[in-house]
Structure 1
Amino acid sequence: MSVLAGARVLDPDTGETTRADVRLDGDRIAEVGPALDGDPRVDCSGGLLIPGLIDCHVHVAFPRPEPLPRSARILEAVPVLRGLLARGITTVRDAWGADAGFKHALRSGWITGPDLLVSLRQLGPTGGLGDSWEPPAGAVDHFGDPSLPDPLFDGPDAARAAVRRMVRAGADWIKVGASGAMRAVRDGVDVRPTDDELAALVDEARRCGRDVLAHAHTSAAVVSAARAGARSVEHGTFLDDSAVAALSDAWYVPTLSPISTGEFADTHRRSLRLAAEAGVRIAAGSDLAPRPHVDLTTELRLLASVLGDAAALKAATSEAARLLRLDDDRGRVEPGLRADLVLLDGPDLDVTDISGRVRAVWHDGNRVRSS
């Protein structure tokens, strides 16, 4: 049993830190407390131990805009996953792009990376965000991969069938485009599912033992998705009071990183502030798709600029685990939970350059990085 000795340990729910040792037994935390015995001992003095970080919105295998063979999308994901784990991100939820084969490769040890939950494709109606029709070319499938099924539906019954296709192909979560992309919203051509379609989709996901995450930029889309029962609403760029009220039973994953500059950046931050002041549960997600890639270390800095450092870390640890229904397994530094841990230089909670502070990372009790 190894002991991580001499650090301060973060309780992400309170934001408080306590001087304590952490004893690991295999892939679990066995004990947390002062002056623990065990060998080998890892000197963590002067540092801060936090739970492994959780990114609730990534795209590790999103297609590039230029035409490339399908293998390029898959091979690019290998260093992306490896880099995420090295920076202390030990669990991710992929929100469109990775198939069940990535999970198999990670479990088999062919590649290294965080634990991965997949949603495969983004479901949506004809003309919505999941539709690959691109005028004047017509139908263009950027994936062209049978492991990523057809995401389109029109009508409640077709929405149920689309959910079943994703579950059959190994989806852990069901993703729906409750609004279009930012460009469609801006141009006034936002094609959205009907409330009946959303209700059927969420109901079918529950019947299949799955939860729904909903891409939604506009207030109207957020309200529709939340009232239908989506467990999390992503982006929420244009929240108003009605959208915040609808989010009382859902998590908000704001994904500030992709539009941290530009015309909607201030609006997005105001939406996050409005949600936080209303007590909406907030979980962290980076929206890894844009290139060059940004990841959770960037998102944490942006969240902290609105919420503060402690709340940003909570959003990326214990609260993210609750959203993903993994809070009985990870997200805190407590006995019995997974030994997913990150050792940061210095005892403070500052997330301005959290990747530069990483001294060591443990995943499933195994040390995967040391500086």
Structure 2
Amino acid sequence: MGNDLLLKNASYLNVAEGRYDKADIRVSGGAIADIGSDLKAEGETVIDAVNKFVLPGLIDCHVHVTAATADLGQLGEWSPYYVAFHTAKLMGEMLDRGFTTVRDAAGADFGIHDAQAEGLLRGPKVFFAGKALSQTGGHADPRPRGRQAYDACYCHPHIGRLADGVDAVRQAARDELRKGAHHIKIMAGGGVASPTDRIDSTQYSLSEIEAAVEEATAANRYVTAHAYTGRSINRALRAGVRGIEHGNLLDDESLELFKEYNAFLTMNLVTYWALEREGRKFGLSQENWEKVAAVLDGGYEALGKAHEAGINLTYGTDLLGGMQVHQAEEFAIRAKVMPPIDVIRSATTTAASLIQREGELGTIAVGARGDFIITTDDPLKDITVLSQSKLDYVIQDGAVVKTANTATAVR
């Protein structure tokens, strides 16, 4: 299903080449059917894009659409219906910022995916992991030290589930795949928003990681791993993990392994930028807030090293609670150490490769989905066009889903 649209006089970004090409673009049934000169309207919606800049719809490769609070332990106590209403609001706001696709890194499930796909939920397309897999005491174990019981009922909106031992990890991975997960998320090291683990810890044995990778590979899916330190990153990559989330404390060996295995790195500096400023306001405990500085400082250096080394960098934000309003700020943060075109690639072509939708998403080409953002100013010259969401149009599957007050010439 999709919509019919004709963009006239478009200067559209050829992301691979890093240049703008001029053409008309026809979308039929939600997909790009033709790119050429002087295309004639055939009854579809027409937008005159003269003097505008047309980019592919943006992809955020690390979101938590259910994370309406930074207190992830408390989130698991909420009613799933209440979480769903928060999710609808958060996803609608993501779409308004031009993110027509997101990869949920733990929390979303087939219900959210299906509701969006069926038009019941306004928001980006969702590629989901289901619940992240964590060892006891790992990054997705929400229990404080004094609590023993853990209710892992599917209907509870925890972002993770506990699985200890090879057999348990294998069963948990199979169960998330059974429910339609597009990728498996594992916690391979310590984190910021968890109560009992340290940033410098490694999590899961190699055999447990390999079991998750084996199950994902069998289903033509992949594993992505939460990991900050070089030690945790390197053992995960050697075990066959395809993606690393965060990576702020990577080392030189990590850079070599990323290239050797053609793996992907999804950093998200904006979440630490936001947590440092607003985390306690939105539910982050003082103890967890104090972990933020350790990963924020290392993140800028790691991003610069990864870009210089030619690593597959994908755009991610990982924002929690009310801090999700800063989603687009990651563009400005990355532009401090990367050229704008490479930042845009991280949110388009490279992101599409990670989610296994190369040629379908994150690009403007015949056969790709009709997802676009249209701006008055050139993001290659001024990244604030994206970081401040200065968008004239957001278009998803050929349908105009948002217009700026100044946007005109739709008929």
Length-normalised TM-score, structure 1? 0.92
- The equivalences for 1:156-167 within 5 A come to 156-167=166-177
Supply the distance in 2 between the matched residues of 1:149 and 1:299 (Cα, whole angstroms).
23
What are the residue-to-residue correspondences of 1:102-121 with 2, within 5 Å?
102-121=112-131
- Correspondence list, 1:342-353, <5 A: 342-349=373-380, 350-353=382-385
Is the alpha carbon distance of 1:295 and 1:338 closer, same or farther for their aligned partners in structure 2, counting shifts above 3 Å?
A: farther
Q: 1:259 to 1:288 in 2, by over 3 A?
A: closer
Partner of 1:366: 399
The correspondence for 2:332, drawn from 301, 314, 333, is 301
Structure 2 residue 190 is the aligned partner of structure 1 residue 180: yes
Q: Quote the residue 1:154 is aligned against.
A: 164
- Is the CA contact (8 Å cut-off) linking 1:120 and 1:148 kept in structure 2? no
Q: Look up the match of 1:171.
A: 181
Q: Measure, in 2, the Cα distance between the counterparts of 1:358 and 1:125.
A: 42
Distance 1:183 1:56, change over 3 A: closer
Per-residue deviation, 1:171: 1.7
Correspondence for 1:139: 149
Secondary structure at 1:217's aligned position in 2? strand
1:269 paired to 2:300: yes
Counterparts of 2:357 and 2:161, CA distance in 1:
27
Measured in 2, the distance between the counterparts of 1:255 and 1:78 equals 22
Distance verdict in 2 for CA 1:334–1:324, change over 3 Å: same
Cα distance change of structure 1 residues 188 and 127 upon mapping to structure 2, 3 Å threshold: same
Displacement of 1:110 in angstroms is: 1.8
Distance in 2, matches of 1:266 and 1:188, equals 14
CA distance in 1, matches of 2:296, 2:185: 24
Q: Deviations over 1:211-239 (max 9, x none)?
A: 11111011111101111111210100101
Distance 1:179 1:228, change over 3 A: same
Whole-angstrom distance in 2 between the partners of 1:148 and 1:169: 16
Q: Deviations over 1:161-198 (max 9, x none)?
A: 11012112332210000101137799467351111111
- The question of whether the paired residues in 2 share the 8 Å contact of 1:52 and 1:341 is answered with yes
Aligned partners of 2:136 and 2:163 also within 8 Å:
yes
Cα deviations by residue, 1:217-265 (Å, 9 ceiling, x for unpaired): 1111110111111121010010110111111120010111111356332
Question: Within the alignment, does 1:199 sit opposite 2:210 as a pair?
Answer: yes
Q: In the alignment, which residue of structure 1 is the partner of 2:38? A: 35
User: Alpha-carbon deviation of 1:342?
Assistant: 0.9
* Amino acid in structure 1 at the alignment position of 2:6: V
Provide the residue aligned with 1:326 in structure 2: 357
Deviation sequence 1:317-339 (CA, Å, 0-9, x none): 01100111101312111111111
Contact 2:127/2:355 (8 A) holds in 1? no
Please, which moves more after superposition, 293-302 or 47-56? 293-302
The match for 1:97 is 107
Counterpart residue type for residue 105 of structure 1: A
Counterpart among 39, 49, 52 of residue 47 in structure 1: 52
Q: Matches of 1:229 and 1:323 in 2, distance apart?
A: 15
Deviation track 1:50-84 (CA, whole Å, cap 9, x = no partner) reads 00101111000026335543322121001111111
Q: TM-score, structure 2 length as denominator?
A: 0.84
- SS of residue paired to 2:6: strand
Tell me if 1:312 matches 2:343: yes
1:283 is the counterpart of 2:314: yes
Unaligned runs of 5+ in 2: 277-291, 405-411
**CA gap 1:148/1:181 in 2 versus in 1, 3 angstroms:** closer
Alpha carbons of 1:25 and 1:292: their partners in 2 closer, same or farther (altered >3 Å)?
A: same
Cα distance in 2 for partners of 1:356, 1:208 equals 37
State the partner residue of 2:24: 21
- Taking only aligned residues, the RMSD between alpha carbons, in angstroms, comes to 2.3
Counterpart code for 1:217:
Y
Q: Secondary structure in 1 aligned to 2:103?
A: strand
Q: Which amino acid aligns with 1:223?
A: N
Structure 1: gaps spanning 5 or more residues: none
Q: CA deviation at 1:140?
A: 4.7
